[in-house]
Amino acid sequence: MAFSSPPPLFSQNLFSNDRAPGAGVTAVLGPTNTGKTHLAIERMVAHSSGVIGLPLRLLAREVYNKIVDRVGADAVALVTGEEKIKPPKARYWVSTVEAMPRDLDVSFLAVDEIQIAADLERGHVFTDRILHRRGRDETLLLGAATMRPIIERLLPGASIVTRPRLSQLEFAGDRKITRQPRRTAIVAFSADEVYAIAELIKRQHGGAAVVLGSLSPRTRNAQVAMFQSGDVDYLVATDAVGMGLNLDVDHVAFASDRKYDGYQFRRLNPSEFARAAPAAPPGTALSAPPAAVRRSSRNWSMRCRITRSRA
């Protein structure tokens, strides 16, 4: 019995003009802590106007603050699901990917963490931005190296640049939560677990900052500032803290090697361990439950091997 060939995944009519779909697009791909977001900021302020879409509200606020320091508050807008700061003469727009303004004609446009296009809940929004949002003069797509074959298929003609990781990770073994060294970020995978661990650390060490997506912007920013200033030496957060936030940590500990991904409980893979420490300085140590090491010690050493000494 003969079967007909399946239709192509993407219609040839998806892009109506003769210009290559990837023309003017640069995909900057690599692991976390490769300076991709910093590059996007530098490129955006070099243009007369721009928009950058980011995966987290807290990261959007951080990038907004950096650009304000460069060009002044009157030139920068912030648009998220919680905050809207829109100066009358804003030239640069910082937003979450979902909140990216649709009616702006800007010279530069960037979308961060494009691998979220594979997410079952948020992926359709990231896919739409990848396919349809462009800057007049330059478009940057930032994300994991796993997106390379997808970009090559979706956007033929796009320039692809890979970047190496700037920081180095060392595996530090397992230890109790209450015996973590100072300047530690502890990663948990539910709000209840975050609060329980923070309370335990407060009883043992006197204080801990807490970072959760459900906190108000003012509270989240205050908690991060409290840790960064050294008022407390411990920060407890969900794994979303790994999406580009810059934290002055020397050690990252995992409360568990399992997480609920919205559909099932599963073990973390090595790349997820590495992602949770994106902005840690060179030589940062990681602690994880022993089961994670026994399960994939060889893969772990390959992903988190030291590549550069502390400056």
The reported pLDDT for the residue numbered 243 is 57
User: For residues 98, 99, 101 and 102, what is the CA-based torsion angle, rounded to 10 degrees?
Assistant: 40
Measuring CA to CA, which residue among 259, 240, 265, 115 is closest to residue 185? 240
CATH topology of domain 169-303: Rossmann fold (3.40.50)
Which residues lie across from 55 on neighbouring strands?
none
> Which tokens sit at 4?
């007909």
Place of tokens 């205050």: 222
**Helices then strands, each counted (H, E), the chain:** 8, 16
State how far the Cα of 205 lies from the Cα of 218, in Å rounded to an integer: 25
Please answer whether residues 274 and 304 qualify as being in contact, where contact means their C-beta atoms are separated by less than 8 angstroms: yes
The reported pLDDT for the residue numbered 165 is 72
The reported pLDDT for the residue numbered 46 is 96
Please answer whether residues 195 and 210 qualify as being in contact, where contact means their C-beta atoms are separated by less than 8 angstroms: yes
Q: Where are the domains of the chain?
A: 19-162, 169-303
DSSP 231-273: S-SEEEEEGGGGTT-----SEEEES-SEEE-SS-EEEPPHHHH
Find all residues with CB under 8 Å of 294, minimum gap 6, and list them: none
pLDDT digit string (tens) for the chain, length 311 residues: 444 444 444 444 444 456 677 788 999 998 877 889 999 999 999 999 999 999 988 889 889 999 999 999 999 999 998 889 999 999 999 999 999 998 899 999 999 999 989 888 899 999 999 999 999 999 999 998 889 999 999 999 999 999 877 666 677 777 788 888 888 888 888 889 999 999 999 888 888 999 887 777 778 778 888 998 889 999 998 876 665 566 778 888 888 888 877 777 888 766 666 666 545 554 455 555 543 433 333 333 323 332 332 33
The reported pLDDT for the residue numbered 118 is 87
**β-pair type (138-143, 25-29):** parallel
The reported pLDDT for the residue numbered 254 is 85
Place of tokens 């959007």: 60
* CATH entry 3.40.960.10 includes domain 19-162: no
What's the one-letter identity of residue 41? I
Domains 19-162 and 169-303 share a fold: yes
State how far the Cα of 13 lies from the Cα of 15, in Å rounded to an integer: 5
The reported pLDDT for the residue numbered 176 is 82
Buried b (16+ CB within 10 A) or exposed e, 2-13: eeeeeeeeeeee
> Which tokens sit at 289?
């439950």
State how far the Cα of 283 lies from the Cα of 286, in Å rounded to an integer: 10
The model's pTM: 0.70
